[in-house]
Each structure stands twice: as structure tokens, then as C-alpha cells.
Structure 1
């Protein structure tokens, strides 16, 4: 074992929070304490980022009317998604896909503008800035679970409409609407799996050796 390894109890805690993280849709009203909010933001800001560009920006939504307008944009996209799903549309409409009106905190994670000067690690793969934002969201997600808070990532929206609503400058891009807050319980399994929408793949199905498709 590496001399740099954590203690067994510490390792168990890390693996537990990864295992028990859930994309939450059901919340109960209640604020998130400011000191907890700051710890979560600090965890997000410690995420790895390509070229140390730190491209994440978080917009905290505190106005009730703005929350309602974001919810309306998500609902419009939910209906369009159901139409695109064809025969599975009715089943999709029965799923609860967001908790925007229920959660204690509502944040929007976005890519910053003026990213062009950052070329370290991005010259051939400029989209890895988006991966950096995803890493920050994952840090936030895991920290929230450790704090006993639920977090749900909502991606059902028109990015241009959300950008216009929130005055995101040209070149910036909303990535996720994040519902954060108190929950009565965490799901035993991912909700889409419990609802029979899809199943989690086996690890072996996602691992190749040397060449694509080789095991």
C-alpha cells in the first residue's frame, strides 16, 4: 500500500460519498446555512481545470420571479424533449426531472466568457474547458452529499434563453441548473434506474485494453 494512502476509515468515507451521491429531484423547503454554502463553493473551486483557467462561474438565484422564469424555460424544454422521444414521451413526462421550485438553493453553473487566450491543454481540444466545469460540479455534488444535502443537475433548457435571462456575456455559456437543499432521504439507486428508464452499465462494459472494443 502507498505510504500516501489515507487511513481505512478515511478511504471508506471517500468511497461512500462517491457511491451514495445521487442526482436529486425531491427536496423539502429549508435554507442552506451560509457557512455550508461557502464550504461547498470552496470545494467546487478546488476542482482541476485545464491550464488552471478555472472556467467555472456560479450564479446564485435569489429572486423568486427569476426562479419561476427558469422553471418555465425548463418546462418548455421538457415538453419538447418528450415530443422528440416519440413513443417514450408519455413515460418521460411522468418522471420528475427537476426540483427548481422546491430546493432551498438554486444555482446556475456556467462557462466564463473570453476563454480564447487560454490555449494550454486546449489547442486541439478546446472543449476540455467544459470538462473542467463538470469537475467543479462533481466536487460540489460530493461535498453536498457529505454535508447531508441533495443536489440535482438540470440540463433541460435552451442555453441561449438561459444566457439571455441571466445576462451571461457573449462567449459565456450556461452548463447546468443546480438544485441544492434539504431532502427527506437519498435515493437507494439512481432515480432513472429505479423508474426503469435505463440501467447502470457494468464496469467491464466501459473498459477496453489497447484498442477500442478489446478486453
Structure 2
């Protein structure tokens, strides 16, 4: 799949998963794509925990559903009605889950490029997730990022060391179809902003030239 096509058609999948297993070679390519991500000081701070065990995933799901209920309580009635229609995870609907972590101590303490921006360690693991997401889409596999969880609770379940950070919890599986638009847009939760409203020139808040604004707003991948 062309890179721009993968970017355009990547989706956060939660509700169209199939139970078909993911072949080891396909999973290995997705993990390798993550491992090839750029990282600050070439620190490669990530680890990938492949989670197949149903009992472990059930424990994760319990935490996710608990947090879903807590979030729903904060919403007004109209938003709650929309939220009730949105599935937020595919933890048991997929053949496997992957937890992505960040180890700040790897090649430390003096990691090149990190002394003024230590958060770039976590950004590096996020870049690995981005690579995996595009690789999964190119393989015809859906991926969903589950964020309704208290990180320390999940770290305990997965026996992640105290000093290692949980960055992402992902659900991967083949799908019946990839939605044409993001599910949250489809369900009316939000819509995509015009890119010209998000690009500034030289400093915060300064609009780009009108000519370039028209190019931005007309650009299609």
C-alpha cells in the first residue's frame, strides 16, 4: 500500500474485528516497523508485550469498563447518548493485544538530545506506535488504541516494572471492513478541523498567506 494511502485509510478500530489469527510473520513485520521508528539519541526505549492470554485480557477489560463508567458520569445528557453508541475497545474481540512501554533508563542517564526535553523518551515510543499503526493498515489489519485505563493498574496486571512507563495498549486483528471515516466522526462525536486553521506562519496565531491557505484546504491524499 502506498504510504499516503495508508495514512489516509488508517483508522482507530474498535468494532469491526474478526477472530482470525494473525500469522507470526505478519505480526513480526508490524513489530519490526515499530522497532524501526526514530528515537531520541537512538535510545530505542520501547518494549512490546504481546498479550494473547484471555484471562489477562479480561482483567484489563474490567479496568477499561470501570473507567468508561467514570467518564460517562462526567458527560451531559446529549453527549452521554452519543457516547453510549461508541465502542471503545476490542480487547476480547481480537486475537491479541500489544502493550507498548518506554524505559527511560535505557542507555541512560545521559541520553543524547534528552537533557532539555526528557519527554522525548516517551515521544519515541509513540512514534513506534505510529509506525505499527501504518504497517498494520498496510497488512489489512485493524488497530485500536485503548486509553480508558488507569496506567498503574494495567502495569500491575502486566507486571511492568515501576520505572518503566506504559505508553499504549493496542488491540490488533483482521476486520470485516475499514470505515470510510473515523468512527467518532461517523457517530457524531467530533469532526475533522480544516488544516488551514491549524497552520501558523513564523509565530503562534499568525495566519499563512492566502495563496498557501487555498493550497492547504484543497490538498487531498
Q: Normalising by the residue count of structure 1, what TM-score does the alignment of the two structures yield? A: 0.90
| Structure 1 stretches lacking a partner, 5+ long | 1-11
Q: In structure 1, the residue corresponding to 2:116 is in which secondary structure?
A: coil
Distance 1:160 1:22 in 2: 27
Q: What secondary structure sits across from 1:156 in the alignment?
A: coil
Following the alignment from structure 1 to structure 2, what is the Cα–Cα distance between the partners of residues 208 and 172?
A: 36
1:157 is matched with 149
SS in 1 for 2:100: strand
2:30–2:135 Cα contact (<8 Å) kept: yes
Question: Which one of the candidate residues 77, 82, 89 is aligned to 2:80?
Answer: 89
Query: What are the residue-to-residue correspondences of 1:1-215 with 2, within 5 Å?
Result: 13-26=2-15, 27-87=17-77, 88-112=79-103, 114=105, 117-215=109-207
SS in 2 for 1:196: coil
Runs of 5+ consecutive residues of structure 2 not aligned to the other structure: 208-221
**Quick one: distance in 2 between partners of 1:102 and 1:17?**
23
Count of equivalent residues = 204
Alpha carbons of structure 1 residues 64 and 118: separation in structure 2 relative to 1, 3 Å: farther
Partner residue in 2 for 1:8 = none
4+ runs deviating over 6 angstroms: none
Residue 200 of structure 2: SS of its match in structure 1? Answer: coil
Q: Secondary structure at the match of 1:58?
A: strand
CA RMSD of aligned residues (A): 1.4
The answer to whether the 8 A contact 1:58-1:108 is kept is yes
Deviations 1:161-204 (A, max 9, x none): 01111111111121211010110000100110111101111111
